[in-house]
Amino acid sequence: MNIVTNFPFCDILNQKMDAVAKEADQTNEIVSYNPATGAEVGRVPITSPEDVRTAVERARTAFQSWKKTSFAERAVYIMKAREMILSQIDEIAHLISAESGKPFGEAISMEIAPVLDLLQYFARNTEKLLRPARVGIGLYALLGRSSRIVYHPLGVVGIIPAWNYPFSIPLGEAAMALMAGNTVVIKPSELTPLTGLKIEEIFEKAGLPANCVQIASGAGETGAALVDAAPGKIMFTGSVATGKKIATAAAQNLTSVVLELGGKDPMIVFADANLELAAGAAVWGAFCNSGQSCSSVERLYVQEGAAEELTRKIIEKTRQLKQDTGYKETTSVGAMSSERQIAIVEDHVEDFRAAGAKIETGGRRNPSLEGLFYEPTVITNASNDMRAMQEETFGPTLPIATFATEEDAIRLANDSEFGLTASVWTRDHAKGQRVAEQIEAGSVCVNEVLYTHGIGQTPWGGFKNSGRGRTHGREGLMELVQPQHIHVNRIALLPDAWWMPYSPTAVMTFRGFARYFATGSVLQTARMLPQLLKRIKELWK
Ligand code: NDP
């Protein structure tokens, strides 16, 4: 149950961690370690499956009153939670950095700042986004009918996030779920349990009514217990393999799921692009969070004429990056999250080597640092037939391949089971848009990279094996409500022509509906009026 993170360069640390793991097994706790140093960050009691069920029950009870609150009341709590975050911004960033290994500055820029923006946006706009909407019903309106859609919350939303953005992803989803009138139970990753508890504390300090946001701590079994407790929805972020397990388990209760899964995101650089900017974007897109972002640049395709210059710029910039523990403000690339993750990176780099690609820089664990550090690695001569160009690496590698034509670039980018994000770099905006629309991915940037998860106003989610459903934006909010159609007949003086009893006159009228009314044209429909009146008269007798 406990995380055993091995530190290859330090036997004493490993022995100490093994001892801690044994002790924690007895006390039924998760021990959170700093992957950069191996130091214990803290411990969290594991929530048993029975306690998870109880938490969901409590959340169901809390929902009965929370759903009655107004949007304005909910917004007050969300804005208070925002203030709580702002008042301890450095403390939170240090905690995220300690548990995940990412640089302290990146915890602010890529987690705290975007989620603060998301909180203010949904606090201020959910009412407008969920405003009951009139639906045009064509000729039925002429019969005195009208239709309106109202949106109801689902009940309890279960959130199961990954460890890579342990603060912003669950907190943002929780805030959206609350604004839509739901209550929430979050099962944080076992690698980042204290960041999960921090989210609960923030809402508590914001004065949110009891049990509207609860945390269930633990590993996969705790997540499985949350799914089995049949919440109204599961918002899952993680691997394809776990996503499939969750979808299967959720199907037992017909619980609907949003799945935010892996990526193998391509960056396409045309020869007419600003190569200096593209190189900087590639370096940030591939190496921020040590490459452990679902929308990391995992494959770069550069047009043949620009390959040499772009590659040189990328290598130069990569060699300048400072890799160190996350708490230093000068660190650009921090530690990786776990030994398991670093092992995947090693396997993929070896696959590139064996397949004939060239490691231009990096390609190894950092020999001067004790923790889980893998050097930012630039690889050339990569091609799509290499295994590591198909499987998600989720680490600091940037493989570069070349292409000749626009069609080649699109074909290479789409040659993947994944389709989360992509980017296209060109000075020709028409070409950028044209190519973007042909890429099979949920978000495609032109002359930008990776960061659109940070724009809470826009939908986030994948094509193909990168997921199902959306988070963020109006589309994400729609995942957290159930639409109800209210249909009103304002006239209600006469029976409907399609009611019983049926007769030859009825069947003749139905033919008229099929031929004329179903054209949607008033003029055509006018042709069946005599028949319609005959039928009404028949019913009215
Ligand atoms: P996992 O699939 O291993 O785990 C994700 C979450 O599911 C964790 O909280 C995990 O718990 C939990 N879990 C594991 N098994 C079960 C189970 N049987 N039932 C319920 N919950 C379970 O993914 P990682 O944490 O390794 O995350 C990395 C993946 O996440 C990458 O593929 C990445 O691309 C993807 N990702 C996708 C994003 C997107 O928006 N599309 C964003 C961020 C990441 P525990 O960790 O405690 O084992």
Evaluate: CB of 81 within 6 angstroms of ligand 1: no
Q: Are residues 62 and 249 in contact, defined by beta-carbon separation less than 8 angstroms?
A: no
Mutational pocket test of ligand 1: of 31, 169, 237, 453, the residue with most ligand atoms within 8 Å of the beta carbon: 237
pLDDT at 6: 52
Evaluate: CB of 193 within 6 angstroms of ligand 1: no
Evaluate: CB of 263 within 6 angstroms of ligand 1: yes
450 phi-psi bin (left φ>0, alpha ψ -120 to 50, beta other): left
Q: Cα-flanking dihedrals φ and ψ of residue 29, to 5°?
A: -125, 155
pLDDT at 4: 41
Ligand 1 centroid from CA 192, angstroms: 12
Evaluate: CB of 467 within 6 angstroms of ligand 1: yes
Ligand 1 centroid from CA 29, angstroms: 20
| Active-site residue, 294 included | yes
E-strand stretches of 324-459 = 358-361, 377-380, 397-403, 418-419, 421-425, 443-446
- Beta strands at 443-446 and 213-215: parallel, antiparallel or unpaired: unpaired
Lookup: tokens for 198: 């921090």
For residue 404, which of 304, 320, 307, 505 has the smallest C-alpha distance?
A: 304
> 294, 298, 391, 479: which is the annotated catalytic residue?
294
DSSP state of 103: -
Evaluate: CB of 247 within 6 angstroms of ligand 1: no
pLDDT at 22: 62
Ligand 1 centroid from CA 239, angstroms: 5
pLDDT at 424: 98
pLDDT at 7: 57
Evaluate: CB of 223 within 6 angstroms of ligand 1: yes
**Residue stretches of the chain with pLDDT short of 70:** 1-24
Within 13 Å of residue 164, how many CA atoms lie on the same side as its CB?
Answer: 19
pLDDT at 2: 41
Q: Which residues 6+ apart lie within 8 Å of 213 measured at CB?
A: 174, 178, 183, 184, 185, 186, 199, 200, 203
pLDDT at 11: 59
Helix (H, G, I), strand (E, B) or coil at 372: coil
DSSP state of 371: S
Residue 242: C-alpha distances to residues 162, 188, 233, 486 (Å): 11, 14, 16, 38
For residue 118, which of 193, 172, 181 has the smallest C-alpha distance?
A: 172
Ligand 1 centroid from CA 263, angstroms: 13
Nearest CA to ligand 1 atom 21: 223
